[in-house]
């Protein structure tokens, strides 16, 4: 097997540090980048710088992230109110790094492409399918744009709402992710409700709202065994780090 040996110029040209941190580096590119940075001090440092930049951007007032809310400004009254409240809060307070790390998501919620979690609106149609193709290919920005349209057309489409929240979470648009998950929760008893609580808690942690995150985690239905276990673990970690 031929190993791809990268240089720092390759890493810079192909934005491998940025793509890696954004969770968009897969397959041979990821293998080659990891093999490179294992022996490259400069790229190791760039990974840490990139992490600091992501943390700083997340904890910055939304005014410093122009597209993050300009892009989704048309969402509607409830979301806009949530957004404004969050922006005001964040303008006054930085987010502790330990909460940001608890809000990190290693892998986007899995979409299997089969109606395992079907609801009455789950068939969604072509727009939803196209959005989910983007989602599965980790083109979360494109997926979010398409899912936004699906939700506009059908506000009760729980899968679209849930994966809209997930896509927004993956591109770091935490305010809007939290709002999207809140809309899924407001739909009531759907198969997506427990995970919507869990991932909304993740978004709230990134926003520095530990108390609200704990409330969401406490709302996960204990009958949803797997997600409830994860929720309890995250709640424990959140409580411990908040107490420090």
Partner 1 sequence: MKDTSPLGPELDRLRQGVRLLALRELGDIDAADEVAQETITRVFDAIREDRLENRHALGAFARGIARHVIIDLIRARRWEAPLDNTAQDREDTQTTNDALSVLVKAEQVGRVQDALAMLAPGEREIIHLSYFEGITCQELATRLHQPAARVRKRKERALDRLRRAFFGSTGHSSSPRPTELPKASDDIPAAVRHLSR
Q: How many CA atoms lie within 13 A of 238 on its CB side?
A: 28
Q: Chain-centre distance of CA 172, in angstroms?
A: 6
Q: Which of 224, 230 has the CB closer to partner 1?
A: 230
Cβ closest to partner 1, residue 36 vs residue 157: 36
Q: Where are the alpha helices (DSSP H) in the chain?
A: 8-13, 16-21, 27-37, 41-58, 66-70, 77-92, 97-102, 126-136, 140-153, 158-170, 174-186, 193-206, 210-218, 225-243
Binding map of partner 1 across residues 150-179, x = CB under 8 A, - = no contact = ---------------------xxx------
The CA distance from 140 to 164, in Å, is 9
Check binding of 137 to partner 1 (CB under 8 A).
no
Q: How far is the CB of 221 from partner 1 (least distance, A)?
A: 17
| Interacting residue with partner 1 among 117, 232, 241, 242 (CB under 8 A) | 232
String marking each residue 78-97 x if it binds partner 1 according to CB under 8 A: ----------------x-xx
Residues from 10 through 49 that contact partner 1 (CB under 8 A): 12-15, 18-25, 31-32, 34-45, 47-49
Tell which one of 27, 28, 92, 106 touches partner 1 (CB under 8 A): 106
As a whole number of Å, the end-to-end CA separation of the chain is 49
Shortest reach from residue 18's CB to partner 1, in Å: 4
Cβ-based nearer residue to partner 1, 8 or 122: 8
Rounded (5°) CA angle 123-83-62: 120
Nearer of residues 15 and 81 to partner 1, judged by Cβ:
15
Nearest Cα to 208, choosing from 67, 66, 96? 96
Does 102 bind partner 1 (CB under 8 A)? Our answer is yes
Q: How far apart are CA 91 and CA 207, in angstroms?
A: 11
Contact 94, 59 (CB under 8 A): yes
Restricted to residues 61-80, the positions that interact with partner 1 (CB under 8 A) are 64-68
- Distance of closest approach, residue 162 Cβ to partner 1, in angstroms: 18
Cα gap 166→144, rounded to integer Å: 9
Site for partner 1 in 117-136 (CB under 8 A): none
CB nearer to partner 1: give 115 or 218. Answer: 218
| Residue 37 beta carbon to partner 1: minimum distance, rounded to whole angstroms | 6
- Of 80, 82, 87, 101, which lies in the binding site for partner 1, with binding defined by CB under 8 A? 101
Cβ atoms of 160 and 147 within 8 Å: the answer is yes
């Amino acid at each position: 097997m031929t190993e791809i040996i990268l240089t720092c110029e390759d890493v810079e040209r192909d934005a491998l540090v940025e793509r890696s941190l954004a969770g968009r580096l897969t397959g041979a590119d990821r293998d080659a980048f990891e093999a490179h940075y294992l022996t490259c001090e400069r790229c190791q440092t760039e990974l840490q710088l990139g992490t600091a930049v992501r943390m700083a951007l997340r904890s910055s007032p939304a005014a410093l992230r122009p597209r993050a809310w300009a892009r989704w400004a048309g969402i509607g009254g409830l979301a806009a109110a949530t957004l404004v409240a969050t922006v005001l809060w964040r303008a006054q307070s930085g987010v502790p790094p330990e909460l940001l790390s608890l809000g990190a998501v290693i892998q986007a919620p899995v979409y299997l492409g089969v109606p395992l979690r079907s609801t009455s609106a789950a068939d969604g149609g072509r727009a939803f399918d196209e959005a989910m193709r983007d989602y599965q290919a980790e083109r979360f920005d494109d997926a979010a744009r398409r899912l936004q349209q699906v939700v506009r057309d059908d506000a009760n489409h729980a899968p679209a709402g849930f994966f809209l929240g997930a896509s927004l979470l993956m591109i770091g648009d935490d305010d809007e992710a939290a709002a999207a998950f809140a809309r899924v929760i407001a739909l009531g008893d759907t198969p997506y409700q427990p995970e919507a609580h869990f991932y909304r808690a993740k978004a709230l942690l990134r926003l520095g709202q530990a108390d609200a995150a704990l409330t969401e985690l406490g709302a996960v239905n204990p009958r949803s065994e797997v997600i409830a276990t994860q929720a309890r673990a995250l709640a424990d970690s959140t409580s411990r780090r908040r107490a420090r």
